[in-house]
Amino acid sequence: MAQEDDRRKHLEMIQAVIARLANNGFLIKGWAVTLTIGVAVFAHKRDTPLVYLVALVPILVFWCLDATFLYHERRYHRLYHRASIRRAKLFRMTPHPELDKAGFWIAHLFKPTIWPVYLVLLLVLLFVGR
């Protein structure tokens, strides 16, 4: 019985990490939208096209951060699955290394939950910048 309680606690710990990573991804999207709209309004009022180029940097940075959070979230989903079928050691919080391939997180830049948001932000900058 204690073993099952420990397993349940372990799964709850993994779920908490997944929830934090998902929340961070959501916050990153919100900051990206807010900052992009703010810079676009500022640049439009000042009529300086250089500011639009400066606005590209945060979009790209937030895009990479969002992809990184999604990458780690998926790694912990995999750990949760392994822990739920009793293939992971109890209270081990290190995700399985099979997703640690070099550049694997780059594939997350183009996941359907990520790229449309940043494509829209880039289109907003392009549209407002004209």
pLDDT in tens, 52-106: 777 888 899 999 999 989 988 988 888 888 888 877 767 777 776 665 665 677 8
Q: What local confidence, expressed as pLDDT, does residue 15 receive? A: 94
Q: What local confidence, expressed as pLDDT, does residue 81 receive? A: 86
Residue 98 main-chain phi, psi, to 5 deg: -65, -20
- Total domain count for the chain? 1
Residue with the larger pLDDT of the pair 54 and 119: 119
Average pLDDT over residues 46-53: 74
Residue with the larger pLDDT of the pair 39 and 48: 39
Give the contacts of 7 (CB within 8 A, at least 6 positions apart): 83, 86, 90
Q: What local confidence, expressed as pLDDT, does residue 52 receive? A: 74
Instruction: Tell me the residue range of the domain where 9 lies.
Output: 2-129
CA distance 70 to 21: 7
Q: What local confidence, expressed as pLDDT, does residue 78 receive? A: 87
pLDDT at 1 over 70: no
Note every long-range contact of 38-47, with CB atoms under 8 Å and residues 24 or more positions apart, other chains counting: 40/124, 40/125, 40/128, 40/129, 43/128, 43/129, 44/128
